[in-house]
Structure 1
């Protein structure tokens, strides 16, 4: 029996059902393999009172400390955070909170390995806990955990965790290179691609999806949290150059007021819709309504949205970032464009003028399977445990 303790601050709960759904799906796939038992610790960072009463945190009060979440045993301990400190104290607070919890868990779940599913603060905390409990530690890098937390005041903590971890995973070869550039040993990093649920993404044709959402004419979707890094504003300006094209921006976040103002200023209110967040389970019925999925992110590891769109037969337009060239290995899957409105407009227009057959686009996503993902993860952990 292989017993895996998955530690992830990036994990969905009742207040954030789309938050880290790919971590949830990966963990569930691993848990379904014979001879594997998985438990999840999904810590929630909360500042001290009275900041904890802010709307951003207040909903966490109703999230259970322990629950069976979509087939997974999940512990949700709270740990203290201090806003405005750049995350400097997150790791110490997380370790202090998790030490007694993991000590108690080991009485009936003597875990063999700690699987940290986000590099910060999960990674440094996992290294400290692995030493305490005498088990190997694996840390997975996904994107913002390296590109954001690997800079500034937490850079040294990220680098030290990578140097101390027994092994690491990266969502793309480009992510592995970024980790190595921080001084993390490349020979301990394995590329571990995401998966896509073929039953959820790819089962709806374009005509049915358009009819269900009342859409006609050329349609572009930009999919991701409404944060500056995702570059939705670039796609809005690109669509402004493409008459008769409708844009759906799917997601929620702090950039919504700025996007609303931009849409109004450009006179695009009749062609650009902010849909808000869409449950992940519903995306497979919305994505096929688009001709193109365009996401102008400033940084990514290997975005699940890229692969999910392709699985629906929708070509993508993305900048040359992260694992873009690992995904777009054929021009029939989509185009890489400079991160400017003009370049995105040109690429979107080219695809709309000559759409590749959906079946061809789907071939690009066929390489990304949750079964393959789970098997590779199991082999990775088994090697770590055997080596220890």
Structure 2
């Protein structure tokens, strides 16, 4: 079987950690079938490579402009065709711009590799483009919904009709959680038979419980004997970090902030969050650590005591799966697929955007005696190998049905 992966969410030389949750799955799929990757990226006319040009753009746009058209990633051929895109203005026609701009490289791969199935990841714009290409070339398309691509974009006036068209015209749809699958069927009138749930996996060789947490603290610059709360994610409005800061402020006012907080990640709200930390008197208790190398993340998870993800919306966040695999109890919003993996034995769920409830949950989590070894062993069912085999079964099912 020859598979074409189509998604912007994939590592590139400028962003080696981009779309790791897709890349891990693709790596395992490539062990079972011939796999090529096309990762289309936006290009803004006149961009000078530093993220500036005729209008001010963020750093990511400069990174996109420096990505080569082709690269090798862990033995896989990965193509990064660029498509013209003007922020805001081009959003409604983005799938068509992508389909037109990638036609050269995609047509060549279809001819040379004899592609059997196109596997798209991220419904808008990537999967809409993938379905357009698949229908034109007569190749079945399997598309995967991952969270905000349905939960957020599915409510936008100009995007929803295109998303609905792609969902109706793809041969099969997969979703990373039951909650997301139910929403696809309910909001877009898709038959339940057409949607399959395939959970993300975890690299259990890297994300596992290590009992000597105090020694690990020495290696990453944390103090022995102190308790730590950990957040890992993009510093973006959807991740709800401001609610976490407010919850910590509430605990501080109650004189119950007996732990320190580590924020790992970067994003557009970094300066606002930094200001909020100072304004609420939390400097010296909350630390912005920026991005960390991927290989360090299991160390931080094992060294800290509780993981917090106060997101407004989620699909099936890998940071939760990885934290639990390290035996780290989780305090998270009751949203998306999170309630499907977090329960009373491994964490506490709270309503999103509710700082007082989050504050109470954090205090409870730090006072509870969790069995971290049991939390970790409860995640043995999650592996990228199993996830990849589930995708292969879907691809085979689609091909048999043609």
Q: Normalising by structure 1, what TM-score?
A: 0.95
Distance 2:400 2:7 in 1: 24
Q: By how many angstroms is 1:181 displaced? A: 2.5
Mapping for residues 86-235 of structure 1, pairs under 5 Å: 87-152=91-156, 153-185=158-190, 186-202=192-208, 204-205=210-211, 206-213=213-220, 214-215=222-223, 216-235=225-244
Q: Which moved more, 1:115-124 or 1:198-207?
A: 198-207
- 1:24-81 Cα offsets, whole Å, 9 max, x none, are 0000001012xx1000001111222258752432233332211111222101100111
Structure 2 unaligned blocks of 5 or more: 53-58
Once the two structures are superposed, what CA deviation does each residue of 1:282-312 show, in whole Å capped at 9, x if it has no partner?
Answer: 2111111111101100000110011000011
Q: Give the whole-Å Cα distance in 2 for the aligned partners of 1:196 and 1:255.
A: 28
Q: Return 20-29 or 238-247, whichever deviates more.
A: 238-247
Q: How far apart, in 1, do the equivalents of 2:372 and 2:128 lie?
A: 43
Is 1:273 matched up with 2:278? no
Report the Cα offset of residue 84 of structure 1. 1.6
Partner of 1:264: 278
CA distance, structure 1, for counterparts of residue 205 and residue 60 of structure 2: 34
Aligned position for 1:21: 20
Q: Are 1:291 and 1:355, in contact at CA under 8 Å, matched by a contact in 2?
A: no
* Distance in 1, Cα, partners of 2:247 & 2:48: 39
Matched residue, 1:286 = 300
- Say whether the 8 Å CA contact 1:222–1:235 is kept in structure 2: no
Q: Give SS of 1:336's match.
A: strand
Look up the match of 1:255: 269
Aligned partners of 1:91 and 1:125 also within 8 Å:
yes
Structure 1 unaligned blocks of 5 or more: none
Higher mean Cα deviation, 199-208 or 302-311? 199-208
Aligned partners of 1:162 and 1:184 also within 8 Å: no
Number of aligned residue pairs: give it. Answer: 384
Q: CA RMSD in A?
A: 1.5
CA distance in 1 between partners of 2:345 and 2:227 (Å): 18
Tell whether the 8 Å contact from 1:82 to 1:89 is kept in structure 2 after alignment: no
